[in-house]
Amino acid sequence: MTQPSLGDPVQYLKGVGPYRARQLEKLGITTVGGLLTHYPKRYEDRSTMRPISLAGFADVETVSGAIVSVSERHVRKSLSILQVGISDGTGVLFGIWFNQPYLKQRFRRGDRVIFSGRIERKFGSVQIENPEYEELDSDDDESIHTSRIVPIYGLTEGISQKVLRSVMKSAVDQFSSLVPDFLDGEIRDRRALPDLSSSVSQVHFPRSMDELQHSRKRLVFDELFMIQVGLAVTKRARGSVNKGFRHLPDGTALEEFRRRLPYRLTKAQDRVYDEICWDMERQEPMNRLLQGDVGSGKTEVAAMALLKAVGSGHQGALMAPTEILAEQHFINLNELLGGAGVRVALLVSGLPKKQKDLALSALGAGEIDVVIGTHALIQRDVEFFSLGLVVVDEQHRFGVRQRATLAGKGCTPDVLVMTATPIPRTLALTLYGDLDYSVIDEMPPGRKPVVTQHLPEDKKRRGYSFLKDQVTAGRQAFVVCPLIEESEWLQAEAATILAERLRRQVLRGLNVALLHGRMATEEKESVMREFRDGASQVLVSTSVIEVGVDVPNTTVMLIEGAERFGLSQLHQLRGRVGRSAEQSFCFLISSSLSEEARKRMEVMESTTDGFRIAESDLEIRGPGEFFGTRQHGMPDLKIANPLKDYPVLLEAREEAFALVARDPALADPAHAALAGKLREVFPEGMGLVTVS
């Protein structure tokens, strides 16, 4: 008989079977080990649930009772209200659902249920709108579902809390003791961490809140520790590499570049360039993350670094995530570097074959100094004469392997990755702890914060009226089409329809241009050139203008369907205006708002500070979705939150870097389990040094 294993298929667990296994697979759960790491999203203390009569208004409460009424009424054709009343003998509370009539069949008079949500008093009754609910049978196992601290899990269609909780209890009882503990005993003692198997058990079914906190800390520490060990190994391996050349100290070309700029660099730009310059003149390859809010002047700093590489006899490459951004960089860098005699070329997929072949030939022959491109730069047929500096813009759009592939086209060139999406320091340490870190934390003088206002759909005429007034006064404007996730084709079609409607009705008489990702490269270049030159007054676009578009005369942005965009996208889009001394404005139009969307609108109205917005985004969405950790080559964070768990992150980082300093290849037999876990946790191709 085979021994039980964490790798056993989940379908053979008691209470699962093939049907429920398929449902669990929608949650990414296929094995027992995967099930055990599906941690609760929150907990309810049902050991001392308050009676309905004592429930606090405006508080999130969990109450239980028997169903005493189920009614549905239609207020109008488009609105139905389902009302379910429960009583615990001290009072009656109503659960309210809007336009969800299918729920009616789930509730029967006399059944016992639990409702959880924000308590309100409306129309003379106590109620919870859209409560989370759970059915309780009279024969429920009280030790799992009630009279204790109860775990609440993320679900998928067809699986209830009760079912998943029962399946999880079976898994915990049978398999939690099999979870191997890879953490050094000295570290556990030093950080007062409990053993791993009991932590797994207690994080699912805690006996007390104190026990839950101790167990959760252990699992949080483990997640963050593994990431930090990976980063420490990577950073140490890079530090041992010799790039074979040192870039020369700055010469007359860079002095002339600074003189030709029509403005002085900010102190922050000077400081960051000095940090980059120090890196480039060292024997070890540079790996630096450059952060700067929209409009802070990262392009000028990158241009100086590229000029330094060219002055040292090497080539530079700048990779951007979209053709529009690559084309914008090509225009800007031609203007900035052309006067210094730097030969700049564009290489994107949309180029005609003959033009692309000429660029490839010139690049390999060293006849191009700086190439700007998209993913086209990492194709097999792209060869450099002497690649000395790689710049990756909007780096969160690229995976680890893509960045490594471009760097691999040179002999360990210097690498500078840039982002206009500010990253909270907590998340930067988690995702980019192997990189040196520079921040442009100062905006060019004379910029005014963009005035931002949220307008519901029925008041958007005010936004368009204001837009027309600004355009009539000689300014320009952006109108952003609502985000459609399904396909780029649908997005382009929606933008085309919106542009046509605005031309015929709302903005009749104005020159309205259209831009979307499905246009040919030449057409996109033509549209952007006309808009930059002022030939068109309003540009209707999809979110392809999120980054890189720089037209200082544009003072109004109107975002349709703003509720469909995340905070980071909204901030990036808004960054296309406010790029001159003129006051700029941004209107966020929405048809309906969820609680999360309402918070996003409030944040956008209250601040233009990118780092405050990033912190809010992390709080609202959580770390798993904030930056898409998987595309960074990082494991998913299943329980840790770098913002809330920052003290634990610092502990984990300190221990990880100290351990790798003592044993860089994890060759000590005492670290064999840790080395095995490291290979398991990090996806193939992260670029980690091989560990024993």
pLDDT of residue 624: 53
pLDDT of residue 663: 92
- Provide the residue range defining the domain that includes 528: 451-607
526 within domain boundaries: yes
Residues 107 and 63 in one domain: yes
pLDDT of residue 121: 86
Residues 266 and 351 in one domain: yes
Residues 415 and 465 in one domain: no
Residues 381 and 457 in one domain: no
Residue 76 confidence (pLDDT) above 80: no
596 within domain boundaries: yes
Distance of CA 402 to the CA centre of its chain: 18
pLDDT of residue 631: 44
Rounded average pLDDT over 599-607: 92
Strands 585-590 and 451-456: parallel
Residues 455 and 415 in one domain: no
Rounded average pLDDT over 514-537: 86
Amino acid type, 675: A
655 within domain boundaries: no
H or E element in which residue 284 lies: none
Residues 456 and 355 in one domain: no
Helices (H) and strands (E) counted in the chain, each on its own, are: 23, 21
519 within domain boundaries: yes
pLDDT tens-place string over residues 7-29: 899 988 888 989 999 999 998 89
E-strand spans in 320-386? 344-347, 370-373
Residue 686 confidence (pLDDT) above 60: no
pLDDT tens-place string over residues 432-460: 777 888 888 888 887 888 999 999 888 89
CA gap 271, 291 in Å, rounded: 13
524 Rama sector, left if φ>0, alpha if ψ -120 to 50, beta otherwise: alpha
Residues 457 and 571 in one domain: yes
Rounded average pLDDT over 333-339: 86
| Residue that is last in its domain, among 573, 607, 641 | 607
CA gap 291, 440 in Å, rounded: 6
- The CATH number for 357's domain is 3.40.50.300
pLDDT of residue 372: 96
Residue 627 confidence (pLDDT) above 50: no
Residue 144 confidence (pLDDT) above 90: no
Residues 393 and 492 in one domain: no
pLDDT of residue 474: 94
pLDDT tens-place string over residues 490-514: 777 888 999 999 999 989 999 999 9
140 within domain boundaries: no
Q: Running DSSP on this structure, what letter comes out for residue 249?
A: P
Q: What's the maximum distance between 2 C-alpha atoms anywhere in the chain?
A: 86
**Residue of 137, 116, 7 lying closest to 61 (CA atoms):** 116
pLDDT tens-place string over residues 238-294: 777 777 789 999 888 888 888 888 888 999 999 999 999 999 999 989 989 898 887
**Sole residue written with tokens 């499905």:** 518
pLDDT of residue 475: 95
Structural Rg of the chain based on CA atoms: 29
Rounded average pLDDT over 339-364: 90
pLDDT of residue 139: 56
Q: Is the separation of the CB atoms in 44 and 209 below 8 Å? A: no
pLDDT of residue 261: 85
Residues 389 and 485 in one domain: no
Residues 258 and 378 in one domain: yes
Rounded average pLDDT over 386-395: 89
CA gap 398, 631 in Å, rounded: 7
Rounded average pLDDT over 619-648: 68
**Residue of 179, 224, 231 lying closest to 636 (CA atoms):** 224
Residues 399 and 498 in one domain: no
179 within domain boundaries: no
pLDDT of residue 435: 80
| Residue that is last in its domain, among 107, 133, 159 | 133
Confidence of residue 212 (pLDDT cuts 50, 70, 90): very high
517 within domain boundaries: yes
Question: How many structural domains is the chain composed of?
Answer: 3
pLDDT tens-place string over residues 224-236: 999 899 888 888 8
pLDDT of residue 395: 65
Residues 263 and 358 in one domain: yes
Give 258-280 as a DSSP string: HHHSSSPPPHHHHHHHHHHHHHH
216 within domain boundaries: no
SS3 73: strand
| Residue that is last in its domain, among 397, 419, 441 | 419
Rounded average pLDDT over 415-436: 77
Kindly report the average pLDDT of the chain as a whole number: 86
Q: Which of 150-159, 393-402, 461-470, 479-488 comes out lowest in average pLDDT? A: 393-402
Q: Which residue has the higher pLDDT, 469 or 523?
A: 469
pTM above 0.75, yes or no: no
A 10 A CB-CB count for 685 gives: 12
